[in-house]
Amino acid sequence: MPAVSKAQQRAAGAALSAKRGETRVRDLKGASKEMYKSMTEAELEDLASTDHEGLPERAEGE
């Protein structure tokens, strides 16, 4: 499932980084922390790898 906004893509990237041990989990905030807890590494990779060209900064309702 591709990301629907640049903000979601960035949050997934931060959560993926923590999931891989590249950054500390305690440094995560908000959506990225929830993504870290609730999503697998494969799901996060799918969201984070979305090309953000043409995506809105924030999705409707964010």
In tens, the pLDDT along 12-62 reads 999 999 999 999 999 999 999 999 999 999 999 999 898 878 888 888 765
How many CB atoms within 10 Å of residue 29?
10
pLDDT at 56 (0 to 100): 82
Quote the DSSP letter at residue 38. Answer: H
Collapsing DSSP to helix, strand or coil, 62 comes out as coil
Whether the per-residue pLDDT at 1 is higher than 90: the answer is no
- 7 vs 10: CA distance, rounded Å: 5
CA pseudo-torsion sign 35, 51, 17, 19:
positive
